[in-house]
């Protein structure tokens, strides 16, 4: 049964909402327990490590003590085995495909004081804007003209960009269509809401709702969020419990790596996933994200940050997350440089963004140079969608614009059952091929089209024989002008 969250909402924190005390350490995240497990698992036995890898390969979620063992591996040969297993699991569950999307920043207004963010309230040097519904429509047209079908909308935490504004902007996106160009699914990255506010957002037809805890380490969380609603650790920690209670059964978690020890944060992500599964009938996070700290205007974090995560450790944490929760989607973003994104997609990542602009109005206003005074942080990859897709095709990967799962009811428990069994690719690969074909016809450059058609022909051979004729038929219908065909 789903557990009510009323027992963790007992103290007034901000006008109009309630939340439990910040100081308690009896939640599902316990610093003492995490640190004890990590310490106890030092210098792991290679036999034990291989047993854990074998469990992951059977698509069973790891226990915290097992993940702690992987996090303490220091043998390069064992890491090679972990990387190989992570890539194999990703392909078994999701197939050789990558889902793509773009972020749409709707506002830079914020009342929080996050030390790592350009949009924090004290920063007087950053441009502040809130897009109107008309401006949102212009941004959407610019994105769909490039070929995007999926967006994630991003908002600051401010009274003027609450649930009603979110609902207005989401409706504006869905209503904006030009010929075959349209957004078919909007995911949301926004501040925690009340149950009633989540219900309002759900009614607009969203996909996934993301709330990243940023850091699961309480002292670090308190230090980097000194003021504002976000200072309440537990209000944020239980945000997705409230979303699930409101009926949003696709939720997503993440941590910002570079704020505290990366091994601790990986443990926090796993414990969060386990908590959601236990409370909500096996429905854990649809995706897990692991953004790395990036330069931001007037941020105190710099190259001397003791918790900065190296490229090598970043790839390791991706692989460990893939083994820890083998059936969950994983997102690597344009925060990362192209070579890191390539590696990440080979060892477990299932989604990525492309042609991202994170300044307010950045898609429709013709500004493609990053500006520190008008965006949240500095991106590591500025390539456009066509360039990213061509690279993925060169790697043998199909770019998927698919949104069929959301619209066919493959969310929540249904999605989790398919993913845990490895059967999700049976639906997702055919749909990926169909949406990829749409992109190649409607938007791709000639070079990308050639690469993409080669990959489609190659991946068709891997489609189950009982489905392949229908896929071929739908691909032909797509060539003849039909759109939005799906399984």
Is 86:324 a contact under the CB 8 Å cutoff?
A: no
Q: Residue 401: inside a domain, yes or no?
A: no
Q: How confident is the model at residue 426 (pLDDT cuts 50, 70, 90)?
A: confident
Average pLDDT over residues 80-104: 97
Average pLDDT, the chain: 92
Q: Look at residue 312 and tell me whether its pLDDT is greater than 80.
A: yes
User: pTM to 2 decimals?
Assistant: 0.93
Vertex 384: Cα angle to 380 and 390 (nearest 5): 105
Query: How far, rounded to the nearest angstrom, does the alpha carbon of residue 268 sit from its chain's CA centroid?
Result: 16
Last residue of a domain, one of 49, 65, 87: 87
Gyration radius (Cα) of the chain, Å: 21
Short-list 32, 28, 69, CA closest to 52 = 69
Please tell me the predicted confidence (pLDDT) of residue 421: 80
Both 188 and 254 in one domain: the answer is yes
pLDDT tens profile 240-271: 999 999 999 999 999 999 999 999 999 999 99
Please tell me the predicted confidence (pLDDT) of residue 10: 31
Both 118 and 79 in one domain: the answer is no
Both 51 and 24 in one domain: the answer is no
Q: Residue 272: inside a domain, yes or no?
A: yes
Tokens of residue 70, six digits: 């992987």
Both 174 and 67 in one domain: the answer is no
Both 255 and 359 in one domain: the answer is yes
Residue bearing tokens 């349209």: 182
Last residue of a domain, one of 385, 410, 435: 385
DSSP annotation of 209 reads E
Residue 168's domain is classified under what CATH number? 3.20.20.70
Both 57 and 158 in one domain: the answer is no
Query: How far, rounded to the nearest angstrom, does the alpha carbon of residue 187 sit from its chain's CA centroid?
Result: 10
Both 116 and 161 in one domain: the answer is yes
Both 17 and 45 in one domain: the answer is no
Last residue of a domain, one of 67, 87, 107: 87
The DSSP bridge pattern shows strands 209-210 and 251-254 to be parallel
Q: How confident is the model at residue 145 (pLDDT cuts 50, 70, 90)?
A: very high
Please tell me the predicted confidence (pLDDT) of residue 285: 96
Q: Is 113 helix (H, G, I), strand (E, B) or coil?
A: coil
Q: Is 189 helix (H, G, I), strand (E, B) or coil?
A: strand
Both 163 and 276 in one domain: the answer is yes
Both 40 and 188 in one domain: the answer is no
CA–CA separation, 406 and 45 (whole Å): 43
The CB density around residue 395, as the number of other CB atoms within 10 Å, is: 12
Both 222 and 171 in one domain: the answer is yes
Q: Residue 455: inside a domain, yes or no?
A: no
**Distance (Å) of CA 299 to CA 23, 116, 239, 292, 377:** 26, 5, 26, 14, 9
Choose from 23-27, 54-58, 419-423 the range with maximum mean pLDDT.
Answer: 54-58
Both 334 and 274 in one domain: the answer is yes
Number of domains composing the chain? 2
Q: Look at residue 220 and tell me whether its pLDDT is greater than 60.
A: yes
Q: Is the sign of the CA dihedral 131, 133, 138, 144 positive or negative? A: positive
Domain boundaries, position 346? 6-28+98-385
CA–CA separation, 220 and 180 (whole Å): 47
């Amino acid at each position: 049964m789903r557990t009510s969250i009323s027992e963790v909402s007992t103290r007034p924190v901000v006008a109009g909402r309630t939340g439990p005390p910040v100081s308690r350490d009896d939640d599902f995240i316990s610093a003492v327990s995490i640190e004890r497990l990590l310490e106890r698992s030092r210098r792991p036995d290679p036999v034990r490590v291989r047993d854990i890898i074998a469990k992951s390969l059977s698509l069973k979620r790891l226990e915290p003590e097992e993940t702690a063992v992987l996090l303490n591996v220091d043998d390069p040969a064992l890491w090679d085995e972990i990387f190989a297993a992570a890539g194999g699991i990703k392909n078994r569950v999701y197939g050789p495909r990558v889902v793509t999307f773009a972020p749409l920043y709707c506002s830079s207004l914020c009342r929080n004081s996050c030390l790592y963010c350009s949009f924090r309230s004290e920063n007087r040097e950053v441009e502040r804007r809130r897009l109107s519904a008309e401006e949102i429509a212009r941004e959407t047209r610019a994105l769909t003209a490039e070929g995007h079908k999926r967006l994630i909308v991003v908002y600051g935490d401010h009274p003027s960009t609450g649930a009603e504004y979110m609902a207005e902007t989401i409706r504006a996106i869905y209503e904006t269509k030009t010929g075959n160009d349209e957004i078919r699914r909007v995911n949301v990255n926004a501040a925690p809401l009340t149950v009633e506010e989540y219900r309002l957002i759900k009614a607009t037809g969203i996909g996934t709702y993301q709330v990243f805890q940023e850091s699961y380490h309480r002292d670090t969380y308190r230090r980097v969020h000194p003021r504002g609603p976000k200072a309440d650790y537990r209000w944020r920690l239980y945000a997705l419990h409230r979303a699930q209670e409101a009926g949003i059964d696709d939720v997503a978690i993440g941590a910002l790596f570079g704020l505290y020890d990366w091994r601790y944060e990986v443990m926090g992500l796993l414990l969060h996933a386990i908590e959601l599964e236990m409370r909500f009938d096996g429905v854990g996070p649809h995706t897990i994200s692991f953004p790395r700290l990036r330069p931001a205007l007037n941020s105190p974090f710099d190259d001397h940050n003791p918790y900065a995560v190296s490229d090598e450790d970043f790839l390791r944490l991706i692989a460990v997350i893939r083994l820890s929760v083998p059936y969950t989607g994983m997102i690597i973003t344009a925060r990362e440089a192209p070579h890191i994104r390539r590696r990440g997609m080979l060892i477990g990542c299932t989604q990525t963004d492309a042609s991202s602009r994170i300044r307010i109005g950045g898609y429709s206003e013709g500004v493609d140079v990053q500006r520190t005074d008008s965006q949240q942080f500095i991106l590591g990859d500025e390539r456009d969608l066509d360039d990213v897709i061509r690279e993925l095709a060169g790697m043998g990967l199909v770019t998927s614009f698919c949104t069929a799962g959301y619209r066919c009811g493959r969310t929540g428990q249904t999605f989790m059952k398919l993913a845990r069994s490895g059967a999700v690719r049976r639906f997702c690969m055919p749909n990926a091929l169909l949406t990829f074909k749409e992109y190649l016809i409607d938007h791709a450059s000639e070079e990308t089209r050639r690469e993409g058609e080669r990959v489609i022909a190659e991946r068709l051979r891997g489609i189950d024989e009982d489905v392949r004729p229908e896929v071929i038929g739908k691909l032909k219908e797509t060539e003849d002008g039909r759109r939005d065909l799906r399984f």
